[in-house]
Amino acid sequence: MRPWKLLGLAGLAGVAATGAVLVRGERQRRAYSADDVRARLHERHAALAAEPAPAPATPAELTAGRRHRLARLLRRP
């Protein structure tokens, strides 16, 4: 019966550790003011807007690797 008790205690310790990690992350997220969050979002948006849009995939690129099934579907009449 002792191994089951140890396994249960290990599981309980794992749950407690996971909860502690989640609480710490939530505290760090809540530490930002609304202005900080807004500024970070504007920075992200500006960085993404500055990047050029990726070119659409060519049929040859679609047929390479695992995407060949998608290319067959696209070729069907």
Residue 8 structural domain: 1-52
Taking the CB of residue 71, how many other CB atoms lie within 10 A of it?
Answer: 16
Q: What is the biggest distance separating any 2 CA atoms in the chain, rounded to whole angstroms?
A: 66
Asked, for residue 73, whether it belongs to a domain, the answer is no
Q: Quick check: is 36 in a domain?
A: yes
Q: Domains in the chain: how many in total?
A: 1
Give domain status of residue 31, yes or no: yes
DSSP for 20-76, written as a single string: HHHHHHHHHHHTS-HHHHHHHHHHHHHHHHHSPPPPPPPHHHHHSGGGHHHHHHHH-
The structure's pTM equals 0.37
Query: Per the domain annotation, does 7 fall within a domain?
Result: yes
pLDDT tens, 12-54? 999 999 999 999 888 887 888 889 989 999 999 999 888 888 7
Whether 25 maps to a domain, the answer reads yes
Please report whether residue 69 resides in a domain. Answer: no
Confidence band, pLDDT 50/70/90 cuts, at residue 67: low
